[in-house]
Chain A
Amino acid sequence: MTDQQDFAFDAAVSSAYRSSATEKVPAHLDRLVLAEVRRSATRKTGVLGLPAWLVPAAVAAVAALSLTLNLEFNRPDDTPAVQYQAGGENRSTPETTAGPAGNLETAAEATGRRLRALDDAVSGLAPANNSDYTGIGDTGQSVPAAADAGASDRACNSGETASAEMWWACIQALERNGQADDATAELELLQTAFPEYRLTR
């Protein structure tokens, strides 16, 4: 059945309506719509109706991020050499990482150098004269009363050079006692053996 057979459509009403409904679209509406159409032509749509620039930008961002992460995690271990202090503290200051000649040295090299300095210092201890002075000797200088057996002509014996602090205390005692030359010699040895040690007064 067609629409016309379903009900008796009254053409009079339609005719009356068509004769009266003659409005035109206002010009400004036409302009607005047509402008929107032309704008849509320049605005390309990409995947899923998203702006066309969005997908390439997203791909580029993901690629850049992946490259950055890859380089970060696969970077070779090129951490600079650091020198460890006697107490195991790690310092990276130039003065602590530089050796006596001012060039960088590894921790092993620094330890070896200190050990050699200590060996040199210890090897200077000669058992010829006891360091057990009780008073003013022939030199007219006061010397520490306590002395180890086999002490040499070193102002600070091996017991006093066991640690940097004790060694420095010995050097200060020598200075107070007027033994400037001995103090200077011992200070040089101390700074050779313990270059990271900070002297405190």
Chain B
Amino acid sequence: MMGRPDGLPAPAVPLSQSPVVPYSGRMNETTEDTALMLRYRDGDVQAFEVLYWRHNAALYRYLLRLCMNRDAAEDIYQEVWKKLIASRGRYQATAKFNTFLYRVAHNTFIDHARRNKRYSSAEAYDPDINIHGADEPDIAAEKILLRRRLDQALARLPDEQRDAFLLHEEGGLGLDAIALVTGVTRETAKSRLRYANKKLKTALTEPVGPGPDSEQA
């Protein structure tokens, strides 16, 4: 596929040819997030709304792919924000807001999983295939295929590895923060993230045949 002269986005570079680039997350917003939460603690409701709009989508996607169940993800999503709202009087800036938020989300997910024992159900999760309505059909189809393969690969990951990957991608957390959120050592968090990336890359670089995708462990 070639880039289009009319300005539409070019197709993605083949994964096997992608360079390794440093990751740049939302680190410049963390101190501001903490300040906003402190302002909310002191009564500024609009400060919390700013926090909400800044983190709502990422948190939702984190829970959506962690639970692999839309209903469960929505339940946990509401519960997480309610916990934050209820704890505003006790909030202390002992960690970055991101870490605090995803720690609450992770623990709420664990509690929900223990109560329901049905969170890991790939069949119940139906990803939104309407990615970009303005895309050309061939680009849209490629993106849909990519998303489907990625979601299937994510679903096949062990829960801990998927959790580590999503905390990194959606939460923007580093290894230390992932270790803190999941309650493991830094080396364990690092190992989980490495294996998750390896498996996902393998799944995404495998050639797509006519039949069902075959994934190598």
Q: In the complex, are the beta carbons of A13 and B204 less than 8 A apart?
A: yes
Contact of B85 among A12, A21, A37 (CB under 8 A): A37
Q: In the complex, are the beta carbons of A16 and B48 less than 8 A apart?
A: no
- Shortest Cβ gap from A188 to chain B (Å): 85
Instruction: Indicate whether B74 reaches chain A with its CB closer than 8 angstroms.
Output: yes
Q: In the complex, are the beta carbons of B52 and A37 less than 8 A apart?
A: yes
Q: In the complex, are the beta carbons of A29 and B77 less than 8 A apart?
A: yes
Mind listing 12 A-B residue pairs with CB under 8 Å?
A: A7-B190, A9-B197, A10-B197, A14-B23, A20-B146, A20-B147, A20-B151, A22-B131, A23-B57, A23-B61, A37-B49, A40-B85
Q: Which residue of B lies closest to A20 (CB)?
A: B147
How far, in whole Å, are A30 and B147 apart by their CA atoms in the complex? 25
Instruction: Indicate whether B169 reaches chain A with its CB closer than 8 angstroms.
Output: yes
What would 5 more interface pairs be, CB under 8 Å, given A12-B18, A15-B18, A19-B143?
A: A11-B19, A22-B128, A33-B52, A33-B78, A37-B52
Q: In the complex, are the beta carbons of B175 and A6 less than 8 A apart?
A: yes
Instruction: Indicate whether B20 reaches chain A with its CB closer than 8 angstroms.
Output: yes
Main secondary structure of the interface of A (DSSP, over half): helix
Q: Which residue of B lies closest to A39 (CB)?
A: B85
Instruction: Indicate whether B170 reaches chain A with its CB closer than 8 angstroms.
Output: yes
Instruction: Indicate whether A75 reaches chain B with its CB closer than 8 angstroms.
Output: no
Contacts A7-B190, A37-B49 given; does A23 touch B150 at CB 8 Å:
no
Instruction: Indicate whether B193 reaches chain A with its CB closer than 8 angstroms.
Output: yes
Q: In the complex, are the beta carbons of B146 and A16 less than 8 A apart?
A: yes
Q: Which residues of B contact A162 (CB under 8 A)?
A: none
Q: In the complex, are the beta carbons of B65 and A25 less than 8 A apart?
A: no
Contact of A15 among B12, B43, B52, B128 (CB under 8 A): B12
Q: In the complex, are the beta carbons of B146 and A11 less than 8 A apart?
A: no
Contact surface of B with A, Cβ cutoff 8 Å? 12, 15, 18-23, 43, 45, 48-49, 52, 56-57, 60-61, 64-65, 74, 77-78, 81-82, 85-86, 88-90, 127-128, 131-132, 143, 146-147, 150-151, 169-170, 174-175, 190, 193-194, 197, 200-201, 204
Q: In the complex, are the beta carbons of B60 and A8 less than 8 A apart?
A: no
Contact of A9 among B23, B74, B82, B146 (CB under 8 A): B23
The 8 closest A-B pairs by CB, nearest first: A20-B147, A12-B18, A41-B45, A33-B81, A12-B15, A11-B21, A25-B60, A4-B22
Q: In the complex, are the beta carbons of A16 and B12 less than 8 A apart?
A: yes
Q: In the complex, are the beta carbons of B52 and A8 less than 8 A apart?
A: no
Contact surface of A with B, Cβ cutoff 8 Å? 3-4, 6-26, 29-30, 32-34, 36-38, 40-41, 45, 49
How far, in whole Å, are A36 and B86 apart by their CA atoms in the complex? 10
How far, in whole Å, are A14 and B65 apart by their CA atoms in the complex? 15
Q: Which residue of A lies closest to B205 (CB)?
A: A12
Q: Which residues of A contact B200 (CB under 8 A)?
A: 13, 16-17
- Shortest Cβ gap from A68 to chain B (Å): 35
Q: In the complex, are the beta carbons of B204 and A16 less than 8 A apart?
A: yes
Q: In the complex, are the beta carbons of A12 and B204 less than 8 A apart?
A: yes
Q: Which residue of B lies closest to A48 (CB)?
A: B89
Q: Which residues of A contact B45 (CB under 8 A)?
A: 37-38, 40-41
Contact of A49 among B15, B90, B193 (CB under 8 A): B90
- Shortest Cβ gap from B150 to chain A (Å): 5
Q: Which residues of A contact B82 (CB under 8 A)?
A: 33, 36
Q: In the complex, are the beta carbons of A9 and B190 less than 8 A apart?
A: no
Q: In the complex, are the beta carbons of A10 and B150 less than 8 A apart?
A: no
- Shortest Cβ gap from A183 to chain B (Å): 91
Q: Which residue of B lies closest to A30 (CB)?
A: B56
Q: Which residue of B lies closest to A22 (CB)?
A: B131
